[in-house]
Amino acid sequence: MAVAAIAPRCPPITSDRDTLTSLAMGTGSLLAPIVVPKLFGPVTPGKGKYAKALVATAVAAVAATTLADLVARMAADDETGTTQRPSRRRRARRAAQRAASVGGVVAVVAGGVAVTTTLASNLTTDQMWNRRITRDLGTGPAAVAAAILGWDFIYYWNHRFMHESRYMWAVHVVHHSSERYKPVPLDDLATLLAGHLQATSAYEVARSLTIVGTAFPSSMGEIKGPTQLVPRREWLLYKALVDILPPHVRIPTFGDYAIAAPELVQGDMRLLKPAATVRYTTNDAWLIAKGSNVRDNGFEQYRTHCDTVASSPSFQGAGFSPGGDYISQCAAGRESTGNLTTWRWVGTNQHLTKVVADLANF
């Protein structure tokens, strides 16, 4: 699938929304310590009036979900082994699945509230202070230095654990996402891929993992004007992905479709009139020089297109690749204009040389 199809354009988020979001989060962090204890106090296990009801709800939801899931599995097995119309079994399976889906949510919410409120009520600052194992250092310089070093030590290991545990990274990865959505959200797609790479077990069974994609136009009909720069979104995505991957995650291999799209050309090839195109791979884009169809206008037009590419600031010189040398020589009249196969070789050679050089120096 082309990267362009995976990452469609979306409007940027305005700075006003960013400001409102920051203000809302800051206000919420100030109000949470005041509101949360009053809101969840009545259901806190060991202290609240309705704590037993909350725990009973969580236990009952777990039991009901487990039972419903078992019934759904048994009904599905019965449907597989019968040749008759399993309308009754199907209704039972669907009812059990609905019950399991509701019970699962109730179990997670009720159980989560019970666990978190219990921890919060037993780990208050006063309780932790009364349980300390060291003496009171007072408020002098030694106490301040110890507090700074202790907090830095705790923060370091907490942050490191967030990066090294793929379960905690799934929560922490948002912290490493882009601050602002861009017109083409490659950074956000890279963040999504980074999360999947850390959660996947593919590395345990596979020797290597390759990310393949392309943003190359599916048809030269999409190219407007005599020249056009087409962003190599798959390469931009790969670079963004490598930049945010934690050190413990193995970097995947890069792959693309060179100077072609994976879709096959539709129609009778005998009736098609392909346009003359010189496809030149640059740092982060393809420079495409396009002319008229070669069946009616011949191949001599390639000299003009080669001159356009060779005089472009994106041209990396005749010595960079054999394909680039051919473009330079054709523009000077020292090479033939070839045929369609010739120019596919020229573009592919330049592309492979460029990609290999970029990966070698990445």
Q: What angle do CA 181, 182, 187 make, to 5 degrees?
A: 80
Q: What is the mean pLDDT of residues 156-182?
A: 74
Which pLDDT band, with edges at 50, 70 and 90, does 54 fall under? very high
Given a cut of 50, is residue 216 above it in pLDDT? Answer: yes
Q: Are strands 227-231 and 210-212 parallel, antiparallel or unpaired?
A: unpaired
Which range among 219-223, 230-234, 332-336 shows the weakest confidence by mean pLDDT? 219-223
Give the per-residue pLDDT at 95: 87
pLDDT of 59-68, one tens digit each? 999 999 999 8
The Cα–Cα gap between 104 and 65 comes to 6
Given a cut of 90, is residue 324 above it in pLDDT? Answer: yes
For residue 274, what are the contacts with CB-CB under 8 A and spacing of at least 6? 220, 293, 294, 295, 340
**Count of helices and strands (H, E) across the chain:** 14, 5
Strand ranges (E), the chain: 210-212, 227-231, 253-255, 275-281, 285-293
- With a pLDDT cut of 90, the percent of the chain lying above it is 41
Average model confidence (pLDDT) across the chain: 84
Give the per-residue pLDDT at 122: 86
Q: Pick the residue with more confidence: 15 or 121?
A: 121
Q: What are phi and psi of 254, to 5 degrees?
A: -95, 145
The Cα–Cα gap between 356 and 349 comes to 11
Which range among 65-74, 82-91, 118-127 shows the weakest confidence by mean pLDDT? 82-91
Q: What is the mean pLDDT of residues 296-316?
A: 94
Which pLDDT band, with edges at 50, 70 and 90, does 177 fall under? low
For 34, the token pair is 């005041």
335 near 326, Cβ under 8 Å? yes
Q: Pick the residue with more confidence: 176 or 128?
A: 128
